[in-house]
Copies of this chain bind each other. A is one copy, B any other.
Amino acid sequence: MAVNQLELASRTKTINQTEKFGISAYISEENNNRLQSIMYTKLAAAGSYLFWDGDETEYLYYVRSGIIKLVKSTEEGRDMTMSIVQKGDLIMEMNGFHVSLHNFSAIVIEDAEVGVIQKKDLEILLQRHGDFALEFMSWMGLMHRITQSKFRDLLMYGKPGALASTLIRMCNSFGIACEDGIRIDLKLTNTELAEIIGATRESVNRMLSELKTEGTITVKNGQIIVQRLSNLKGKCNCPSFLVCPLEICRM
């Protein structure tokens, strides 16, 4: 049985592609233009780094296209992916406008075009336009809530729950409705998935196998298609989508 139509409509990015995405959905047209006006464009090839863990937080990055992952590395070489961002997302990591250091690296995983914003320029803009500052704060608050709900899911329901939560979020952020269900339009290896949920590649592999035999997911051309979203929801205690605000349930 496929996912019901209401879910498809609300849960996938297809309908959103014609609409506003990322931070622009949270700020006015005018303020969005202001924000755009202080960026300069930079192209970043897959595999390159926008910044490294420990660099100064001098700039913010507005993602125009491509995919970028935010990764914390440990000395022992185990990486943890904090977030995966795309078109419309703003990469910002700073406590204020004074000097501080990045806590993770930004690795481009699909060729990207980003708008680079000088912290100082943003500060001037925010100070001058009170309404922009408020909108920006709203967005910051939302990002914080996403982080909280994400990590809560990763901690509370074991690795299968963590994987299920991640797959649901990927549906909401990268999903495209298709006849079989929701296709996650993002190619990740099992190792990359493991780094998101804090598990080993082998565990992820076994869990995915089980989801396949259950009929919850299927894989086509290396992309995961979620056939039974409700199965995933059950594994991570995701309440009915009326209660769980979609804007928070994302990567």
Interface residues, chain A, with chain B CB atoms under 8 Å away: 26, 72, 74-76, 78, 80, 82, 92-98, 100-101, 103, 123, 126-128, 130-131, 133-145, 147-149, 151-152, 154-156, 198, 237, 245, 247-248
Given contact pairs A127-B133, A155-B155, enumerate 13 new A-B contacts (beta carbons under 8 Å): A75-B237, A76-B237, A80-B156, A92-B141, A94-B138, A95-B139, A95-B248, A96-B139, A103-B148, A103-B248, A123-B134, A130-B133, A147-B148
The answer to whether A134 and B137 touch across the interface, beta carbons within 8 angstroms, is no
For residue A97, which residues in chain B have a CB less than 8 angstroms away from its CB? 134, 138
Give Cα A135–Cα B131 distance, bound, in whole angstroms.
Answer: 15
Give Cα A26–Cα B57 distance, bound, in whole angstroms.
Answer: 18
Give Cα A130–Cα B144 distance, bound, in whole angstroms.
Answer: 22
Give Cα A94–Cα B140 distance, bound, in whole angstroms.
Answer: 9
9 contacts between A and B (CB under 8 A): A74-B156, A94-B141, A97-B134, A126-B130, A130-B130, A130-B133, A137-B140, A144-B147, A151-B155
For residue A126, which residues in chain B have a CB less than 8 angstroms away from its CB? 130, 133-134, 137
Give Cα A188–Cα B14 distance, bound, in whole angstroms.
Answer: 48
For residue A96, which residues in chain B have a CB less than 8 angstroms away from its CB? 26, 134-135, 137-139, 141-142
The answer to whether A103 and B134 touch across the interface, beta carbons within 8 angstroms, is no
How many whole Å from A176's CB to the nearest CB in chain B? Answer: 26
The answer to whether residues A147 and B149 also contact, given A133-B130, A156-B78 and a CB cut-off of 8 A, is: no
The answer to whether residues A93 and B134 also contact, given A152-B72, A154-B151 and a CB cut-off of 8 A, is: no
Sorted nearest first, the 10 A-B pairs with minimum C-beta distance are A96-B138, A151-B151, A95-B142, A133-B133, A127-B130, A155-B198, A144-B144, A95-B141, A140-B140, A94-B141
For residue A245, which residues in chain B have a CB less than 8 angstroms away from its CB? 100-101
For residue A94, which residues in chain B have a CB less than 8 angstroms away from its CB? 138, 141
How many whole Å from A37's CB to the nearest CB in chain B? Answer: 18
